[in-house]
Every structure is written in C-alpha cells, then in structure tokens.
Amino acid sequence: MLKDITVGQFYPGNSLVHKLDPRLKIIIMLFYIISLFFVNTYIPYVFIALYLLLIIKVADIPLKIVLKGIRPLKWILLITFVINLFFIQGEEIFRIGFLSITKEGLDTALKMAIRLVLLVLGTSLLTLTTSPIEMTDGIEELLNPLKKIKVPAHEIAMMMTIALRFIPTLIEETDKIMKAQMARGADFESGNILNRAKNLVPLLVPLFINSFRRADDLATAMEARCYRGGEGRTKFRELKLKKADYLTFIFNIVFFGVIIFWRYI
C-alpha cells in the first residue's frame, strides 16, 4: 500500500505537460483545487474527470500509475462517505436501526468522495510531471514578491520541495523496516484497524532515526558544495514563458472559470 502513494514522485517524460513552465502549473493547480470546492452538481465533475484524462493522455503517463495513488485513501474515503451518509439530516429514504440514510446525506457523501478522488489525482499529476528542481524554481519565483517584506522565498521553496522529494524515499524506508520486522516475527496485517495501528508504532523509532540521519547527511552534502541559500545564487536554466505556456494557461483559466461560474447558473 505504501508504494501506491504517488504524491512526490516524478515520472520522467518529454511531453507538452512536462515542458510547461512550473510556475504556471502551480497556479493552474491552485485554480483546480479552488474550482473543486465550488462544484455542487455532478456535471462539472464529469468535465473535470475528462480534463484529467486529457492531461494524462497528453503527458503520456500510464493510467494505472496515476490511479494507484487512490488506493492508500480507501479508508479515508470510506470513513468520509459513511459520516456524510448517516449524519446529515434531511429527507429519509432508508433506515438501519437507529441510523437513517437521507437523500441529502447520500448526495453529500457521493460528492465528497468524488471530490477527494479528483483532488488526489490532480495534485499527483503536478508532481508526476514536474521535477523537484523545477518545482523549487517555480515556487521560489512565485514567492519572490514576498522578498520585499523579508520573507525567505528561496528557503521556503527549498524546504517545500525537499519535503515533497523525500515522501517516496520515506515510504521506501518504511517498507524496508516493515519487511525487516516481519522477518523477525512482527505482524502488521492481522487484527482490526486499531490493532494494526498499534502494531505500526514500533516503526516510528527507526523511521525517525533514519530520517534525522538522512537530513543530517543532506545538510552536510549541501554545505560541502558551498550552499549558502538563495542570496546571489545564479541558475543554469532561467524560467521563460513560451507561446505554448500562455495558450495553455489561458485555456485552463477559462475552463476553471466556467467550472466555478457553473455553481451560480
């Protein structure tokens, strides 16, 4: 299950989506997330799903790689669905003992589940098509105006990108620790959800120790390469907007503008 997490992973490619300016991709992703919270009917969800399929096709990323990111969320989706299904008051359509299913509850539960799935799929596409270096440069460029009020834009961008970059690494490290402990008799699969959660506690100590050691090694490597932050730093590749970037950005802004405006139709 841990290997199914796609957030933070980068899928190399030479597609139009991969070549887009990272600043625009981050802004487009923000509009995407905002538009999801404005949707209150099912038709816009269909258009957003078709939009994601188009992005996946153009980016030439296997669909199974994108979809496997949903598997770790199955319990979150189930809990969210059940809570909205049984605890929202409205027109009752079915009753199970003291629990009742309402029309409004079923509608809200379906919309919340769809929204969570689309949110994970969309955000995973950003990291799948943007390398860590491009992500750092994009975030830093977007935060540059805040430097006027003494906000450390480069440092914030670096920390955010390193955090995203090390998600797959920590997942791989967790998987190795789990297999090592299972070889010594640990059981992570039997029992109910609470027992499984308790069995995961012994993983935290070695995971934290390895994480701190890895962070220390990274800091030493950066200092050995004379890294001193963003002040006076030059870049091998400067970010420049192209015609394809402008056209793609305009298309996405219009699309998400329609999705947001749909709420008020």
Do 45 and 126 share a structural domain? yes
* Cβ contact 86:99 at 8 Å: yes
For residue 34, what are its two tokens? 């905002």
* Cβ contact 46:162 at 8 Å: no
* CA 72 and chain centroid, separation: 12
Q: Is residue 56 part of a domain?
A: yes
Do 213 and 100 share a structural domain? no
Question: pLDDT at position 153, please?
Answer: 77
Do 249 and 174 share a structural domain? no
Alpha-carbon radius of gyration of the chain: 22
Do 246 and 211 share a structural domain? no
Domain count for the chain, please give it: 2
Largest CA distance in the chain: 68
Question: pLDDT at position 233, please?
Answer: 67
Q: Is residue 31 part of a domain?
A: yes
Do 72 and 172 share a structural domain? no
Question: pLDDT at position 177, please?
Answer: 80
* Cβ contact 6:65 at 8 Å: yes
Residues spanned by the domain of 261: 1-130+238-265
Q: Which residues in the chain come in under a pLDDT of 70?
A: 1-8, 188-193, 196-197, 229-236
Q: Is residue 137 part of a domain?
A: no
d(CA 84, CA 69): 23
- Helix or strand holding residue 99 (H, E): strand 99-102
Do 259 and 223 share a structural domain? no
